[in-house]
């Protein structure tokens, strides 16, 4: 029966339309009507093949999922909002660390060429993790298509995709920031700094992200760490180690910035850029990879989990 269904799906548009509609209904039910804990357990079991222990979490991935349910404050929502977080950054470490904002609007009809600068920039939504649209020359952009893209994006509540509560109450808007790009047209590395209780433990660097994506992990002293932290496919990490990188000249300042921004939280990933002698803030993430990226060898998932004391979080009875 399954073989017949697959054949019909791939060879008849009617069957494909019907099956796609059924799958969409099923997914909507899972995301909107199943309670958060059950949803997280289902996703965890599907990804790792074992049961998520929410009563006594030990590994980092278990604890990241536990935090989704129990670590919920207004500051989480502010910091997850790519527009509102700018106020927090300015108040905590200073305006100089902010990438210049060149556009912001809650109305997608404002997303048109006349509202954007003539230099390169990146357009993105403030309420999700969809990345953004890099614009090097605004005359080459299909602005009508771009409006439709963001209109659709702003209708979605990103909370339902992974039950990360901090996204639930963000008021969606479109923002654009100046693109950090040098004279050669290169975009700087994105340093993702994982902080536990305000202390830097792991520095993640994604290399050649749009060509041959690799990922290096370093400690605070820029020693390469002996594990990978990645999605997996065919029993292999999608992003294993790449070429060795020189220690950033502004590493100490980057770590200081990350530690200060992460201080109110038991775990936070602070993304920063080291660009032309300056450090810039990127974003804050509270559940890296939604707590579903494999840390291998597995013992390091437990070792990192030991660094995160979730007993400091007050849970409701």
pLDDT tens over the chain, length 317 residues: 666 667 656 777 675 676 556 556 556 546 676 899 999 999 999 999 999 999 999 999 999 999 999 999 999 999 999 999 999 999 999 999 999 999 999 999 999 999 999 999 999 999 998 779 999 999 999 999 999 999 999 999 999 999 999 999 999 999 999 999 988 888 898 999 999 999 999 999 988 877 788 899 999 999 999 999 998 888 888 888 889 899 999 999 999 999 999 999 999 999 999 999 999 999 999 999 999 999 999 999 999 999 999 998 876 54
Same domain, 194 and 256: yes
Same domain, 61 and 193: yes
Same domain, 198 and 306: yes
Q: What Cα–Cα distance (Å) separates residue 226 from each residue in 122, 199, 216, 238? A: 34, 20, 10, 16
Question: In whole numbers, what is the pLDDT of the chain averaged over residues?
Answer: 92
Same domain, 156 and 56: no
State pTM to two decimals. Answer: 0.90
Same domain, 206 and 291: yes
Query: Of 187, 222, 250, which one is at a domain's C-terminal end?
Result: 187
Separation of CA 76 from chain center: 14
Same domain, 128 and 205: no
User: Which pLDDT score is estimated for 208?
Assistant: 80
H helices within the chain, ranges in order? 2-11, 13-33, 36-48, 60-70, 74-80, 85-92, 143-154, 159-162, 251-262, 299-306
User: Which pLDDT score is estimated for 317?
Assistant: 41
Same domain, 220 and 316: yes
Same domain, 304 and 208: yes
* Distance separating alpha carbons of residues 184 and 312, to the nearest angstrom: 47
Same domain, 59 and 84: no
Same domain, 78 and 180: yes
* Helix 13-33 vs helix 2-11: crossing angle, to nearest 10: 110
Structural domains of the chain, count: 3
The range of the structural domain enclosing residue 247 comes to: 35-71+188-317
* Distance separating alpha carbons of residues 269 and 259, to the nearest angstrom: 10
């Amino acid at each position: 029966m399954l073989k017949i269904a697959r054949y019909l799906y791939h060879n008849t548009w009617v069957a494909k339309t019907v099956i796609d509609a059924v799958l969409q209904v099923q997914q909507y039910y899972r995301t909107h009507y199943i309670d958060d804990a059950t949803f997280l357990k289902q996703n965890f079991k599907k990804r790792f093949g074992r049961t998520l222990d929410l009563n006594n979490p030990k590994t980092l991935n278990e604890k990241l999922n536990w935090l989704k349910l129990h670590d919920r404050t207004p500051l989480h929502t502010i910091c997850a909002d790519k527009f509102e977080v700018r106020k927090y950054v300015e108040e905590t470490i200073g305006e100089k660390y902010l990438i210049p904002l060149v556009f912001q609007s809650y109305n997608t009809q404002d997303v048109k060429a006349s509202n954007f600068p003539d230099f390169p920039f990146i357009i993105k939504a403030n309420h999700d993790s969809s990345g953004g649209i890099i614009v090097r020359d605004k005359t080459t952009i299909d602005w009508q298509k771009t409006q439709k893209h963001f209109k659709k994006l702003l209708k979605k509540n990103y909370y339902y995709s992974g039950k990360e509560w901090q996204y639930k109450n963000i008021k969606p808007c479109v923002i654009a920031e100046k693109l950090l790009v040098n004279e050669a047209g290169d975009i700087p590395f994105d340093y993702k700094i994982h902080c536990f209780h305000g202390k830097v433990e792991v520095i993640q660097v994604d290399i050649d992200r749009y060509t041959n994506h690799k990922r290096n992990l370093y400690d605070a002293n820029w020693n390469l760490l002996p594990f990978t932290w990645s999605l997996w496919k065919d029993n292999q990490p999608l992003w294993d180690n790449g070429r060795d990188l020189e220690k950033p000249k502004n590493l100490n300042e980057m770590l200081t910035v990350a530690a200060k921004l992460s201080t109110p939280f038991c775990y936070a990933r602070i993304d920063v850029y080291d660009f032309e002698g300056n450090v810039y803030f990127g974003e804050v993430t509270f559940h890296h990879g939604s707590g579903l990226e494999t840390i291998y060898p597995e013992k390091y998932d437990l070792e990192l989990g030991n660094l995160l004391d979730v007993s400091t979080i007050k849970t409701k009875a």
